[in-house]
Structure 1
Amino acid sequence: MKQLIFLLLLALALSSCGSTAKSLFNGEDLRGWHADVPEMDDNPDARNPFIIRNGLLVSLGTPGGHLISDKIYKDYRLRVEYRFAGEPGNCGVLVHASTPRALYKMFPKSIEAQMMHENAGDFWVIREDIVVPNMEERRGPKEKWGNTEGDLRRIPNLTDGSENPVGEWNTMVVECYERSIKVWVNGDLVNYGYDCTADHGQVALQAEGSEVEFRKVELQKIKGLSENYPAQN
């Protein structure tokens, strides 16, 4: 009887966390996504920088743009496993994405969880905004804050050394619940913000100069806020 009660309580606890994680790409094509790449507007020879290669979703890095989910999501945990395929560089995961090309005629309105080498987990605000602890210490002079061109839009992450060596796989988890966002890199909580100006939107991956391979892009809807997210291999 005690074992039965334990199993029932465990099932209830698991169900409160949300649904099963669902892969956002099928390993064969880009169904469920659309590319927004300005260079492809008028240049018939421009390549799509987002491809499927050997079952991996690959951002070739150039030309610059974004791969945007067709669906809009709210209250979820996004798990991304990625690595820089060659030279380390820049890329990012965007959440709460909405209006396309809202910044520099390239970036959709969103909050970015940075993947740039040695800066993974930074927040960049793109026509949206978010509050973090020690805001002035981390973001700079308050009078220079903003969410558009020329403003202080970067909020550095809280840790050093959370990324694996170049060539190895990294796991980034971005949890969006109500108006808070948490980011983990390889099991370390690297950033946390609240009072976000958005609580739903599309998910986007960047092409921003460096080739990046993704072997997992999974989304799990959640019903409650997690205090900790355990490291997973």
Structure 2
Amino acid sequence: MKTLFSLLLSLFSLFALAQNKNSKEEWQQLFNGKDLSGWDVKIRGYGLNENFGNTFRVEDGKMVVRYNAYDDFKQRYGHIFYKNDFSYYRVAVEYRFVGEQPKGGEGWAQRNSGIMVHGQPAATMGKDQDFPISIEVQLLGGLNKGERSTCNLCTPGTHVVYEGKLDTRHCINSTSKTYNGDQWVRAEVLVLGDSLIRHYINGEQVLEYQKPQIGGGVVSGFDPSQKPDGKLLAEGSISLQSESHPVEFRKVELLNLKGCMDPKATNFKSYYIKADNTLCTYAGRK
């Protein structure tokens, strides 16, 4: 029996070693550092891919939001959408706020941007729609006067379950610290279909909620067919915001977890990746 136990232990150790050796995280760079290939622009008051004033552009290898051509902001909220939808994933951006708002930018929008997840497709937004129906991971910079958390939750046309009950507030603050100045900050979001979403700042979890779904207001100009209230959001677009303050993104990357978290996924790969505290296993079947 002792010999058999030793043999089984040795086999288990070899198996674990093989897993660790093959472990990897294959992050996909959504922004190539050169141009806006693979992205669509939608600015309020303009048609799809009418990038008014070259608002979204690439400078020095960074995706940036600029307002040089704005004499007045006039609530021309903008979003830049990645071409594909996703359901189970980790998305991360490295961002910083710079400069000053243009004339007409609201006070609440100072040093304010966001990552929109589980959003509607860019092509379905109305010409005068202000925000995509989505879950917003709100990015805020400090104002050098008191605390101002980042990686908060805002909900244009959506609701979530927070702390065990449906929460209809538009915004819920995270537990993050305040980031003043022009420092780079890494924001990461773990999105698991219609079950769970977690926010992280510089590797620290700062917010968690469940069951993202369509509902509520704080969005205008939308096609009613795009807002079936009560529908759970299991997948959707990813977009970055232009809300009137210059912002820069030096990295936008995604780790697709669909193959190991979604039981309906096909063409699985045979390796292991660690998603949060969960060992994510690709089964290798076709």
Report the TM-score, using the length of structure 1 for normalisation. 0.78
1:211: which partner in 2?
246
- 1:153 maps onto 2:170 in alignment: yes
Contact 1:57 1:215 in 2 (8 A): yes
By how many angstroms is 1:195 displaced?
Answer: 1.4
By how many angstroms is 1:182 displaced?
Answer: 0.4
2:88: which partner in 1?
75
Cα distance in 2 between the residues matched to 1:169 and 1:226: 22
Residue among 184, 187, 192 paired with 1:177: 192
In structure 2, runs of 5+ residues without a counterpart are: 1-9, 68-72, 101-109, 142-147, 213-231, 262-274, 279-286
Residue among 159, 175, 178 paired with 1:129: 159
1:164: which partner in 2?
179
1:149: which partner in 2?
none
Residue among 110, 115, 126 paired with 2:139: 115
Contact 1:126 1:153 in 2 (8 A): yes
Cα distance in 1 between the residues matched to 2:59 and 2:66: 11
Contact 1:97 1:108 in 2 (8 A): yes
Q: Which amino acid aligns with 2:78?
A: G
Contact 1:125 1:154 in 2 (8 A): yes
By how many angstroms is 1:227 displaced?
Answer: 3.3
Contact 1:40 1:48 in 2 (8 A): no
Once the two structures are superposed, what CA deviation does each residue of 1:144-186 show, in whole Å capped at 9, x if it has no partner?
Answer: x3xxxxxx311221x141x433211100001101221100011
Cα distance in 2 between the residues matched to 1:21 and 1:172: 15
Report the TM-score, using the length of structure 2 for normalisation. 0.65
Change (3 A) 1:205 1:6: same
In structure 1, runs of 5+ residues without a counterpart are: 140-144, 146-151, 229-233
Contact 2:199 2:205 in 1 (8 A): yes
SS at match of 1:171: strand
SS at match of 2:200: strand
**Higher normalized contact order (CA 8 Å, seq sep 6+, divided by chain length):** 1
110-119 vs 200-209, greater mean Cα deviation: 110-119
- 1:64 maps onto 2:77 in alignment: yes
Change (3 A) 1:134 1:215: same
Cα distance in 1 between the residues matched to 2:163 and 2:139: 21
Cα distance in 2 between the residues matched to 1:173 and 1:45: 27
Change (3 A) 1:135 1:30: same
Cα distance in 1 between the residues matched to 2:60 and 2:197: 32
Contact 2:42 2:51 in 1 (8 A): no
Cα distance in 2 between the residues matched to 1:210 and 1:45: 16
2:119: which partner in 1?
97
Cα distance in 1 between the residues matched to 2:115 and 2:176: 19
Cα distance in 2 between the residues matched to 1:109 and 1:208: 16
Residue among 41, 49, 52 paired with 2:58: 52
